Structure 1
């Protein structure tokens, strides 16, 4: 017999009822996602309805029972299951011990219907339906016993209130749960979109830096192949070492070509690659000319002595300025922009500032990821990046890009034989042509 009882207690429906209705834990009704002064409006209305019902239903014979029953509405705001059980007890006690008059009978069922509604907002549909059925059986049983004052029409009206409380409560709870799931899905989608944007931006940066790395590896392979011919009678160990350096450089180039095909592939079977050279700060004047032709008034100022920087720094600085000016054209039409480049000893500081928009900005679908790209470029170089509005209503983009000292080329040895120099030059040209054909 005990095993049968345990099996019945493990049924899903009984577990739901036990979790929802036979529990003393609080289940507060959450505030609305409205402005601050309206968030607690439903709670205030429930308290006002409880006070109004207590005043209207209190009879001279049992005012304490009427007030206590009305207080169940307030209790249901935090403990809906306990409030429903107590409301069932109050209905039974009021009806059997102090039968209400015909005028106050309806308030008893209105209070109970309100408790049912507040319960249906917080428990599952199965539990809410069970409580409605039990409340209906209680109303019909009290009427059948002859202790309830009023006609069957009044009881029918009370049952209608119970059904409406269940229906409206279930609908509101379902909409709230759907809204919560939708909000969670939107947040998850936003996180996925941000992550995908970062990965796409990093892929684009890797594609651009590929050309820079490939250029250096090509130079290493050419210099390693030509170096033995620049010295008369080089040792065999030195020739072998240079050959090993060139072999490693060519293997690195081959792996870079494979990676480039993967990064630049737009889909299955598509391995289209671009061959245009990557820009640098040397093309900054051309960029400014293009944005001025598009209607953006732009000024540029350079502080310090302009010098050659590592290709990665040059490329990142150009792309940051390009994206910042594109954002000005897109989001602040009619504004003026200024660019400041400061060449410090170990860093390049750039700053792009624009004033407030003179015209309303047109919608730009798909935009909004440029800041992510700029931040990724600066993070790749270990620099500092900041964006934000200015006091006059404009916007500012600033970045500090660390620079590594550019190695100074070693002077050519003066004692190199003329024949060795000629052979070295011929080999260097031949290797460069071969590398260009292979890379293309």
Structure 2
């Protein structure tokens, strides 16, 4: 963990429930300490020397324990108050030391676990611990001359009795304060890690929400593109056929009926494609409904587009060059949609167009579709039109290249190249 981040992070303050628990803990500690004081006085256990008056004993007992009711709200202040009261109580020979020692331990631990300013918390704890050891040294120095001559009469160990007693006192206090410091740091680090986990979980939730939003937007764009390709093409063909039927309705009923039949067939095809799209939207991935849906239109169905262009009155031709091989489904569908959009534009926007030439070239590492007509554009190409945007997106998705514009000899050209992964069933 980054130490600079550790210093900057501040643990949030205690919750109302934790504050209430601290109040109960401080009151319970004070009551228990008063009970311990009563037992010590009843047993005459005045280990630190002649005790002060009864009210003073009660005062020091309460002064050491009761501040714990604010331990998590003001950990630094509570630690200072408890430490000063603890030393003062021992200096005055207050008999209650057991609960007071635990109160000091709790104050030091809480400062380590809840101190908002880490530098201040660390320095204050080290200062309190150093002061306690200083007080222990002063206590040993001032009580050395009062030790009875027979205090170590039963000593049998190899270490001098007085030295053994002093080392034992230092060892016990070292473990006592060491554990208070260690457990406080551990609790703070645990809170820090929990905060990081929660922050990362929240970041992950936001990221997932963004991914879902992008997926929804992408799906909407895909649906819009598919709807445009399907509806625009078939409606354009029906419009051309309807215009032709109107012009020859009285002069040549046979041609009019043929045009109306073409409109009917085109409408049925459009409805079938729309039904397929809606079925794919409703079906779950891998579900039986999806499995029963026909596959998307591919490059092998370009002949149908050319035939509809013929029915609309154009001299449409289709040429396939190279060795046709299996294409990835996405590439095949994208190539089909590009041809479909180019044919639609020729029907809608190319004034005076009489011929349409569609060519599919299977090259070594790419497939190319080339659609040309001999009409003239009725206006400048709309670069932001849905059709052109859709073609660009489809080609760009596969890393291909798209050329759209007028031909030198007149007319309009749409040419798209789609790179193919190797192998695709053809030699490189």
Shared fold per TM-score greater than 0.5:
no
- Greater gyration radius: 2
TM-score band w.r.t. shorter chain: 0.3 to 0.5
TM-score normalized with structure 1 length: 0.42
TM-score normalized with structure 2 length: 0.43
